[in-house]
Chains A and B, each alone.
Chain A
Amino acid sequence: MSHLAFITIAYGVALIALGGLVVMTSVKHRMRVRQLKLVEALVNNQNES
């Protein structure tokens, strides 16, 4: 393999790992936001009834 191939693989691995971490963090955060909204809506419904 050439130098270029090794460089591409190394930067590709780093990009996928860091990008994956950011995406996972963002997805988990959105899930928690949605979960909190659902629970708050449940509480509001209970209070109204």
Chain B
Amino acid sequence: MNLYSLAQPKKLEQILKTTTPFAYGASLLLFAIGLYFALYASPADYQQGDSVRIMYVHVPASWFALMIYGFMGLMSAAFLVFRTPMAAYMAQAAAPIGAVYAFISLATGSIWGKPMWGTWWVWDARLTSMLVLFLMYLGYMLLSESTDDKEKALRLTSILAVIGLINLPIIKFSVDWWHTLHQPASVFKMTGPSIHSSMLTPLFWMAGAYFTLFLAILSHRTQTILLSFKTRNIYQKLAWQEER
């Protein structure tokens, strides 16, 4: 199998049909293990107390909100360069997942902020750039629904996704570039993680769960898009037969 064959809807549909149930199953299993560690088997923090457990839903959601946008940007660039519509459709399939992950990141961050910082929200660089990412997801989805011309919608959303990539390093390095209330990076940094392994374990299980859920929903949504192609093709054939 080569990469080109993956861009063929029929081949892709076969692969997705087989892998989707496994991805959902893996995600369910990983969430069960992750929640066990997050809510029971990991210790409370000496300063934050049990509120540290909110981190296990907040941090992976934030990681993947960024990574999904990165994926959309790459797929959109592939569409603009190589003219493979399937890449742009996969970016469109990923958008609502990224939006929900960004929403979870903002909401759970805010819920953690109230007992820890004494406020639900501050306009610091990390929180604001994350809010911008969420708004970009919403803008992308609105734009894709804004016109009946599918070709035009694909082109416009792809350009928006590629331009929006500029926000990703801003989010990642905002805590280093500006003085923020949000704490600096403690997992992905040059000197290695500064979190104790008892807290890294639930974090990585939950990250695995979020990732496999992303794969499952992406695969499911891509199949839905392929089904709508089939329906549209039949409609077009019917219209063509009636014209004759």
Q: Which of A's residues lie within 8 Å of B, judged by CB?
A: 1, 3-4, 6-7, 9-11, 13-14, 17-18, 20-22, 24-26, 28-29, 32-33, 35-36, 39-40, 42-43, 46
Judge whether B54 is part of the interface by a CB distance below 8 angstroms: yes
The distance in angstroms between the C-alpha atoms of A32 and B228, with both chains bound, is 6
A35-B231 contact, Cβ under 8 Å, with A13-B104, A18-B213:
yes
- Chain B residues with Cβ below 8 Å from A10 are 54, 57-58, 107-108, 111-112
The distance in angstroms between the C-alpha atoms of A43 and B49, with both chains bound, is 64
Interface residue range, chain B? 35 or more
The distance in angstroms between the C-alpha atoms of A2 and B241, with both chains bound, is 68
Q: Identify which of B51, B100, B230 contacts A18 (C-beta below 8 A).
A: B100
Point out which of B58, B96, B217 has the most chain A C-beta atoms below 10 A from its C-beta. Answer: B217
A-B CB contact pairs (8 Å), 12 listed: A1-B115, A3-B51, A4-B50, A6-B112, A13-B107, A22-B213, A39-B234, A39-B238, A42-B238, A43-B234, A46-B238, A46-B241
The distance in angstroms between the C-alpha atoms of A20 and B107, with both chains bound, is 15
Q: Identify which of A3, A17, A22, A28 contacts B50 (C-beta below 8 A).
A: A3
- Chain A residues with Cβ below 8 Å from B53 are 7
Judge whether B207 is part of the interface by a CB distance below 8 angstroms: no
Give the distance to chain A from B128, nearest Cβ to Cβ, in Å: 20
- Chain A residues with Cβ below 8 Å from B49 are 3
- Chain A residues with Cβ below 8 Å from B217 are 21-22, 25
- Chain A residues with Cβ below 8 Å from B58 are 10
Contact between B100 and A28, CB atoms less than 8 A apart:
no
The distance in angstroms between the C-alpha atoms of A31 and B97, with both chains bound, is 19
Contact between A40 and B224, CB atoms less than 8 A apart:
no
The distance in angstroms between the C-alpha atoms of A43 and B108, with both chains bound, is 50
